[in-house]
Amino acid sequence: MLQLNPYLNFDGQTEKAFQFYQSVFGGELVIQKMREAPGVENFTEEEKNLIMHASILLSNGQVLMGSDIIKSYGHSFTQGTNHYISLHAESRAEADHLFAALSEGGEVEMPLADMFWGDYFGSFKDQYGVCWMINYALKF
């Protein structure tokens, strides 16, 4: 079954925000910093300490996710539009279909590809300005 989850972006406040959300919703909080990603050797220490990915697994199986923006990557932060809809596909084929269909006429941010964290992932803004992430958890 296709799963939809909110994905929030912050300008350096992800860790504090997610600690707050965990205090409200409960659930397991997982935080990964940028320094854990490959290819960050040229990042400043401040950028290396930013949050690459935070997630809270809620009791109903939904996941609240988020990350900090990286200005040196050209990311920008606009309060009120700092969110994505993250779709978790059941197969690589479904991920490919969703990505192709929803991104048509839009702007691809990151093409679908196998990622270092072990998933098949891509992101884009659709033709109506809505930001999406497509994810398929690869099985090893």
pLDDT tens readout for residues 16-51: 999 988 998 889 999 999 999 888 888 899 999 999
Domain that holds residue 94: 89-140
pTM above 0.85? no
Greater confidence (100 vs 72) lies with 100
Return the pLDDT at 110.
94
Q: Are residues 45 and 73 in the same domain?
A: yes
- For residue 84, is it within any domain? no
DSSP H or E segment with residue 124: strand 119-125
**pLDDT for residue 140 is more than 60:** no
The pLDDT tens digits for 50-87 are 999 999 998 778 899 999 998 887 888 887 678 888 88
Q: Are residues 24 and 59 in the same domain?
A: yes
The domain that holds 111 is classified in CATH as 3.30.720.110
Q: Are residues 106 and 125 in the same domain?
A: yes
- For residue 1, is it within any domain? no
Q: Are residues 71 and 105 in the same domain?
A: no
Domain count, the chain: 2
Cα separation values, 126 from 67, 108, 112, Å: 20, 8, 15
Return the pLDDT at 80.
67
Question: Greatest CA separation found in the chain?
Answer: 40
